[in-house]
Amino acid sequence: MDTAEIRSRFLNHFAAREHTVVPSASLIAPDPTLLLVNAGMVPFKPYFLGDLAPPWPRAASVQKVVRTVDIENVGRTTRHASFFQMCGNFSFGDYFKAEAIPFAFELLVDGFGFKPDDLWATVYLDDDEAEGIWRELLPAERIQRRDKEDNYWSMGVPGPCGPCSEIYFDRGPDHGRDGGPVADENRYLEVWNLVFMQFERGEGAGYDYPILRELPSRNIDTGMGLERMAVILQGVENVYEIDISRPVLDVASRLTGRRYGADPDSDVRLRVIADHSRTAAMLISDGITPSNEGRGYVLRRLLRRAVRDARLLGAREPVMERLFEVIGTAMGPIYPELVNDAETITRVAVAEEMAFAETLRTGTTIFDTAVRQVRATGATTLAGDEAFKLHDTYGFPIDLTLEMAAEAGLSVDEAGFRRLMERQRQTAKADRAARRIGNLDLSAFRPILAAAGPTTFTGYEELTRESS
C-alpha cells in the first residue's frame, strides 16, 4: 500500500467520524517557543489551552514535522527520520479516551488489516481508565504501563500535556527480543501515540517540569507516523526504504558509487544523505534559507552533513541538484510546491553546497593546523576557542569539528565551545530585544481575557451598517 493510500485512508476514516480535515500548516512554527513544528498538534495549541475557541470540535490532519532531536538517530535506527508526516485526529473538548482508543484500533485492524495479535498498547503508570478501555480490545498481557518518559507527552516546552497511550506493532522475533515495547522498541515499532491532553506544563528541563493547571477541557491529540505505517504495510526494513524515500536513497547511492546494502557504515551515510536532503527541501519550500541562527542553522547543518557524507562516500561532483530533482518527483504529488518552485528551492541548496565546498577547503586547512598544534604539545583535546573560531569564522558546524576531530583521534572541549556559543547567543538575544521584534505569544492576553471576559467582534456588521 503506497503512502498516498495510507494517508487518504487515515483522513477518510476520521472524516467519516465527523472530523474536519485541516491541511498541514507550514513547518515554521506558529509558536514562539518552538523553532519548527515537531508534532501535529502544534498548530492547534491555542485551542487546547483555551486561548482561542476551536472552529470545529473535531479535526484531522497530516502535518509536516521536523524533529531535530532525532537527527543523531537518523540512518542508525529503522524508525527515525528528521522530516516525517504525522497523521493526527483531534478532539477539542469533545470525545475523550473511550472513543479515541477504539477509533485508532478500528483503523489499524479494519482499515489497514493489522492482526490484533500483532498489536501492543502502553498506558501511563496510573491510567487505569485507558487500561480498562484497552482490555476490551487486547489481552491484558499485551498492555504495558510506562513512566513519564514514554507515556506522558508534551511538546518539550511549556504548553498542553497529558498522559498518553501508545500503540506498537510487533515486527516479529527476527527484529529483537520478546517482552513488548518495554523490552525492545526496535522489534515493537511504535506507530501511534494517543495523548489525553488535560494539563498545562511549565518550564523545566527534560521530564522535570511543574504542572501548572488543568486545561479548561479534556482533549484528544494523536499522532500516527505515516512513514512507520508505510514500513509495515510495504514490508520494508526502515523508513528510508518506503515508496517516497527509496528513490532518493537510490540516487544517493548512484552519486556516491556505493551500492546500498553492501556495507553497514556506508548504508548509514546513504540514509543520512537521503534523509537530510529531503528535510532540507521541505524546509526551503517553507521559505527557510540557510543562516547561522535558528531555523536557518538547522537547515544549514542538514545540508552540510549531507554534503560531507556524500563526499566521504566518494562523490566527486556536487550532489544537491540531482537529489532535489528526485525529491521533487517522489514528494511532488503530495507537496506540489516542490515541483512548482523547484528552481528556486534547488538554487538555495546548490548555493549552500558550493559555499560549503569552499568552507571545507579553507576550514580544513585551519582545522589541520590546529590539530598539528595540539599534537605538537602532546595534548589530545582541541580547545573550545578553536572549535568556536572554526564555527564562527569559517562556518564549521560543531558536529563537523567533532566528527573530524574524532577521525584525527582527538577530543574537543565541547563545554568550552558551548560557553562561547552561549555568550554569543545572549548578545544576539539582547540585540533582538533592542530591535523589538514581535512574536505570536498569545499567553500575554490571558489575564485580560480573565478580567474582562470574551468580546464579540462586531466590526463587520457595524461597518457594513455605517457604509450602507
Q: How far is the CB of 241 from ligand ATP (least distance, A)?
A: 13
Q: How far is the CB of 68 from Mg ion (least distance, A)?
A: 12
133 binds ligand ATP (CB under 6 A): no
Q: Which is nearer to ligand ATP, 239 or 298 (CB)?
A: 239
Residue 50's binding partner among ligand ATP, Mg ion, none (Cβ under 5 to 8 angstroms by kind) is none
Q: How far is the CB of 80 from ligand ATP (least distance, A)?
A: 4
Q: How far is the CB of 79 from Mg ion (least distance, A)?
A: 9
> Which residue in 122, 144, 151, 193 binds Mg ion (CB under 5 A)?
193
31 binds ligand ATP (CB under 6 A): no
192 binds ligand ATP (CB under 6 A): yes
152 binds ligand ATP (CB under 6 A): no
Q: How far is the CB of 36 from ligand ATP (least distance, A)?
A: 13
Q: Which of residues 205-234 bind ligand ATP (CB under 6 A)?
A: 223-225, 227-228
Please count the residues of this chain forming the interface with Mg ion, following the rule CB under 5 A: 2
245 binds Mg ion (CB under 5 A): no
363 binds ligand ATP (CB under 6 A): no
Long-range contact set of residues 126-134: C-beta below 8 Å, sequence gap at least 24: 126/163, 127/151, 127/163, 127/165, 127/196, 129/97, 130/97, 130/101, 130/163, 130/165, 130/196, 133/97, 133/98, 133/101, 133/102, 134/101, 134/165
Q: How far is the CB of 6 from ligand ATP (least distance, A)?
A: 12
81 binds ligand ATP (CB under 6 A): yes
Question: Of the listed pieces 190-198, 259-267, 374-382, 403-411, which binds Mg ion according to CB under 5 A?
Answer: 190-198
- Catalog residues that contact ligand ATP under the rule CB under 6 A: 67, 70, 79-81, 84, 86, 190-193, 223-225, 227-228, 239
